[in-house]
Structure 1
Amino acid sequence: MTQEAQQAHAAMRTRALTAAAVGTALEWFDFTLYGALAATVLPKLFFPAMDSTSALLASLATFGVGLAARPLGAIICGHLGDKLGRRNLMLGTVSIMGLSSMLMGLLPTYASIGLWAPILLVVLRILQGFALGGESTGAQLMAIEHASPDRRGKYSGLLGLCSPLSQIMANGVLLLLASMMSAQAFDSYGWRIPFLMSFVLIVIGVYIRLKVSETPAFVELRKTQVVQVASPLRDALRLHWRTVLRWMLFFCGPAAIFYLIVVFSLSYITKTLAVPKQTGFLLLMGANVCAIVGALAGGMLSDRIGRKKALAIGSIATLLMLFVYFQILDTKSFLPMLAAMGFFLGFTQFQSGIQPVAFAEAFPTNVRYSGSALAYTGANLIAGGPMPVLAVWLFSICNGSPWGVVAVCVAFNVISLVAILTAPETLGIDMNRTDSAARLAGDDDFPQASMSNSH
């Protein structure tokens, strides 16, 4: 390979990573923004006829609806992404996400149009969830399949920054707006401003992704007959269902804990502990700074010691933290609360920083999008989306005690750790292998493959 060709490859790898990271961060900004508002402002605007607890449950349920729509987006986009390529799907998902969020900022409340307000809110949430279901895995594959084999973990960690970065952006905007206007003004129109900014997100996301070529793994797949004759979704479920199930069970732990921290904890801090909203937003921002460090550390460490060992470290750390988390929050002391949330979210994102590369390496090219998307969105459907509502319900029936919530999260965490420990190591796998080559190797996860030295 000539020096010019090597430079072109390096430039495209950087461009692919940037497109994936920036686009995903922008989409998670909108999704995260809704999660924060669902726990604070939206209950009284869209469900005013209910008592406070029921309104909060209903509002958090609309958050869960978006997560429930993810599998549909994952199935459709995954199938099309394995058949038609990663790049084109990424242009569509960022557009749908941005448009639905912008319309959410224009949505009338219950006081204006009655029952139609929550109905339209749910419809827009479904569109958001559909887009994010296809986006999350597609963006990950765009970057990981462009990456050189020895840097996949690093790229994965950089992608893991998207969620905490979007948390900081969303909560920073909310904190700024809440400090600049009265509570009445914020509840009236201030919460709409970040959603209306989504038009800018559409333009930026589409522009960046138009500059990225199709991934080398999919280009290689195009040269075979596999992409023309196979049904990726069918093959993922028929030939790789064990892999899908294993990685879905793994991600149930991080998904449950993530939404426990960023959605339920905000409600718990502001409503149960009566801590000001601004302080709650500030705590989440600080915790997400730790999450950025955690995500990058997890990805880079997995390049050195392997995916399994690194994931196990993160899983054990979050399991231990579960037993003291709420006790520390109950102190209402800012620094201990910040340390607890930072440690907890940091090691949760430590695992999420490894997730993109672990999922991508677990499947052959022709079912990689479908298999990864099913595992990722399935975990969010089972453990992520229901967690805020389940936490509120458990907190209520346990008379204000957090131990019911802790017990459920411990169960998810233990299942996750078992899935990690029983998975094969995939560090250094040849990601250009197709399903037929994997079957000839006699292993769904093909851990015996060797690393390519091409850069």
Structure 2
Amino acid sequence: MTLDPKRDRLVIVASSLGTVFEWYDFFVYGTLAALLGRMFFPSENPTAGLLLSLATFGAGFGVRPIGAMVFGVLGDRIGRKYTFLATITLMGLATALVGVLPTYAQVGIWAPVLLVGLRLLQGLALGGEYGGAAIYVAEHAPPGKRGFFTGFIQASVVGGFLLSLVVVLATVFSVGKEAFDDWGWRIPFLVSILLLAISLYIRLKLSESPVFAAMKEAGTTSSAPLREAFSAPGNLKTMIVAMIAVAAGLTVIWYTAQFQTLYFLQSTALVDETDAKLLVGVSMLIVAPLFVVFGRVSDKFGRKPVMLIGYAITLLLLFPAFHLLAKAANPQLMAAAAASPVSISGSDCRFNPFASKQTSECGQALQYLSGRGIGHTGAIDDGGALRITIGTTTVQGFDKAGIEAALATAGYPTKANPGPRNNLLIVAAITLLGLLSASTYGPVAAIMVELFPARIRYTSMSLPYHIGTGYFGGFLPLISLYIVAKSGNAFGGLWYTWIVVLAAFAVTLFWLPETKDRDISK
């Protein structure tokens, strides 16, 4: 592939902007998950509402492999260009419709049903979008620059997250917090129509990928890409390796750096929602160019070593980074938790985070502490009367006033008075996590394209990528928050990320081949 600066700029800009807009559509839901939980899943248990909202967020990821199969086949049969035009149209329309949905208060159970349906359509669309954009850019890139070219696609995913934060915050500032919670939350979803129009206008200027055009002219395109993806010698093994080593590993780091930090700041560190979004947004703005940088580094030193180093450092620094984040975001809370830990004992100490109301006093106490973001050392079911110990003070029974007084005496802050925080250190901690995400995500589009033959590339790449990202990553916020709610440990949910990254490191080390010098035209 020869260099053509004008063509290459158009390819990168059109593909990247389309990716930004498409991921904006997907992430605006994640950004507003807590509010949507209250709108569409009302409950006496705030944790249950958020968990159900996150489960709906995960549902969109759960159907991505189906979208990968549908649009992957189309991409391998009719072409890269027209397939990702179809995916962005479906995504934009589904997102805009969320903005006109009635809430639970208006139509009852139909509200969450309709919301889940639109999330499923978004997931189907996204199952075809990423593979199409990555392949299109990579097949235009000259040898030795595929990591650099496709790094813009990786940065565009972060761009979609940033754009969702910007639009949400701009709307809040424009209409006010009260109006935003009432009706203004619809605006970020409706903005999708404008983004769709811009993206279609730019993408319609593109020509077909030169690799696909050459295959079509030579008559070597696959007539059954899905069947061939599973039957071609060695291709199934490569897809499994790519799913674990690449897709699952990079995604849990990325979602931890973006969404987990956002929810952690809001629910555990008691940081105001708007402030939390601003802090995460600033951090991601710093990190975004690094995805291109690491893509370029992988062109020089190889995809595999860059990813291995990123995984290894993540395993070492994941927990320290979150402890640093907690101390920076709410030092008063961390000091109180260390000096006056909370423990619970009593009978029937079962706690279902999804239940709107707990049946026992012990369960009600656990629900209350979870909603307040107060960690505990674990509930002991000893068959006796409920006892809540906060430092040196013991509260008998589920006495809210007594619990509040004991927490206040022990120095635990409240949401109304969250205590001091170090914004600079918060940004530094989130930026560190974002750096680890960039090091593992930057080379990914290049390596996924290079792993598979051109005639079945769209299908073969999209399936493992969206299974890995959809199931391992898409349900990460839900799984992590559930672990935190059940265990009472604010950092307990990080073990999910750590274990998946460990598995990705091992599979990468032993089974993932180096691909940077491969000829992708065949």
Say yes or no: TM over 0.5. yes
Q: 2:442 aligns with which of 343, 353, 356?
A: 353
| Among candidates 256, 266, 271, match of residue 270 of structure 1 | 266
Deviations 1:242-296 (A, max 9, x none): 1111111022122112223322322221122111112111111122123313201
Q: Please, which of 309, 318, 322 is the counterpart of residue 326 of structure 1? A: 322
Q: Which structure's CA Rg is the greater one?
A: 2
Corresponding residue number in structure 2 for 1:233:
226
Which residue in 2 is equivalent to 1:411?
Answer: 499
One-letter amino acid matched to 2:173: S
- The within-5 A match list for 1:114-153 is 114-153=108-147
State the number of aligned residues. 425
What SS does the aligned partner of 1:146 have? Answer: coil
361, 381, 406: which one aligns with 2:470: 381
Corresponding position of 2:9: 14
1:8-87 aligned within 5 A: 9-38=4-33, 40-87=34-81
Give the aligned partner of residue 212 of structure 1. Answer: 206
- Which residues of 2 match residues 173-188 of structure 1 at below 5 A? 173-188=167-182
What is the CA–CA distance in structure 2 between the aligned matches of 1:258 and 1:190, rounded to whole Å? Answer: 28
CA contact (8 A) 2:81 2:136 kept: yes
Q: Secondary structure at the match of 1:49?
A: coil
Question: Per-residue deviation at 1:349?
Answer: 2.5
Q: What amino acid maps onto 1:23 in structure 2?
A: G
Q: Deviations over 1:9-65 (max 9, x none)?
A: 443332222111010001111111110101x21111001135111111100011001
Deviations 1:50-87 (A, max 9, x none): 51111111000110011111111111100110111101
Q: Structure 2 CA distance, aligned partners of 1:418 and 1:362? A: 18
Query: Is the CA contact (8 Å cut-off) linking 1:17 and 1:142 kept in structure 2?
Result: no
1:284 to 2:280 alignment:
yes
Name 1:169's counterpart in structure 2: 163
What's the CA shift string for 1:194-253, capped at 9, x where partnerless?
A: 11111111111111111111111111211344325x421112122201111111102212
Segments of 5+ residues of structure 2 without an aligned counterpart are 330-421
- Displacement of 1:322: 0.9
CA contact (8 A) 2:261 2:280 kept: no
3-state DSSP of counterpart to 2:307:
helix
SS in 2 for 1:420: helix
Q: Deviations over 1:354-387 (max 9, x none)?
A: 1100000000101111111011101112211111
For 2:118 and 2:493, how far apart are their aligned partners in 1? 29
Q: More displaced, 414-423 or 278-287?
A: 414-423
Could you say which residue in structure 1 is the equivalent of 2:303?
Answer: 307
The whole-number CA distance in structure 2 between the counterparts of 1:50 and 1:93 is 38
Structure 1 stretch displaced more, 96-105 or 263-272: 263-272
Which string of whole-angstrom CA distances, capped at 9 and with x for unpartnered residues, describes residues 398-424 of structure 1? Answer: 11331x322221111111112222311
TM (norm. structure 2) is 0.79
CA distance in 2, matches of 1:259, 1:397: 21
- Is the partner of 2:207 in helix, strand or coil? coil
For 1:21 and 1:427, the matched residues in 2 are separated by: 22
Work out whether residues 94 and 122 of structure 2, in 8 Å CA contact, stay in contact via their aligned partners in 1. Answer: yes
> For 1:423-454, what per-residue CA distance to the aligned partner results, in whole angstroms no more than 9, with x for missing partners?
11111211111xxxxxxxxxxxxxxxxxxxxx
The letter for the 2-side match of 1:320 is L
- Offset at 1:340? 1.1
The structure carrying a bigger helix percent of its residues is 1
Q: 2:265–2:276: 8 Å Cα contact kept in structure 1?
A: yes
8 A contact 1:296–1:350 mirrored in 2: no
Paired position in structure 2 for 1:440: none
2:450 counterpart SS class: helix
Question: Is the 1:293–1:346 contact (alpha carbons within 8 Å) kept by the matching residues of 2?
Answer: no
1:198 & 1:416 partners in 2: Cα distance? 35
The one-letter code matched in structure 2 to 1:390 is I
Please provide the CA RMSD for this pair: 1.6
C-alpha contact 2:93 2:192 (8 A) present in aligned 1: yes
One-letter amino acid of the counterpart of residue 498, structure 2 = V
Provide the rounded CA distance (Å) in 1 between the counterparts of 2:428 and 2:181: 30
In the aligned structure 1, how far is the partner of 2:27 from the partner of 2:141?
28
Q: Does the Cα contact within 8 Å between 2:311 and 2:440 map onto a contact in 1?
A: yes
Match of 1:396 among 485, 489, 492: 485
Verify the 8 A CA contact 1:289 1:342 in the aligned structure 2: no
User: Once structures 1 and 2 are overlaid, which stretch shifts more, 404-413 or 110-119?
Assistant: 404-413
Give, in whole Å, the separation in 1 of the partners of 2:102 and 2:494: 37
Q: Which residue of 1 aligns with 2:243?
A: 248
Structure-to-structure mapping, 1:195-206, within 5 angstroms: 195-206=189-200
CA distance in 1, matches of 2:260, 2:471: 16
Preserved CA contact (<8 Å) 2:92 2:193: yes
Which residue, out of 350, 354, 371, partners 2:460? 371
Q: Secondary structure at the match of 1:293?
A: helix
Match of 1:424 in 2: 513
Corresponding residue of 1:445: none
AA matched with 1:432: S
**What's the CA shift string for 1:73-102, capped at 9, x where partnerless?**
111100110111101101111111111111
State how far apart, in whole Å, the 1-side matches of 2:277 and 2:35 are: 13
Q: Indicate conservation of the 8 Å contact 1:21/1:162, yes or no.
A: yes
**Equivalents in 1 of 2:499, 2:161: separation in Å?**
26
CA deviations 1:115-140 (Å, max 9, x no partner) are 11111101110111111110011011
Deviations 1:304-351 (A, max 9, x none): 111111112222222222121221121112222211111112221232
What corresponds to 2:347 in structure 1? none
Aligned partners of 2:67 and 2:127 also within 8 Å: yes
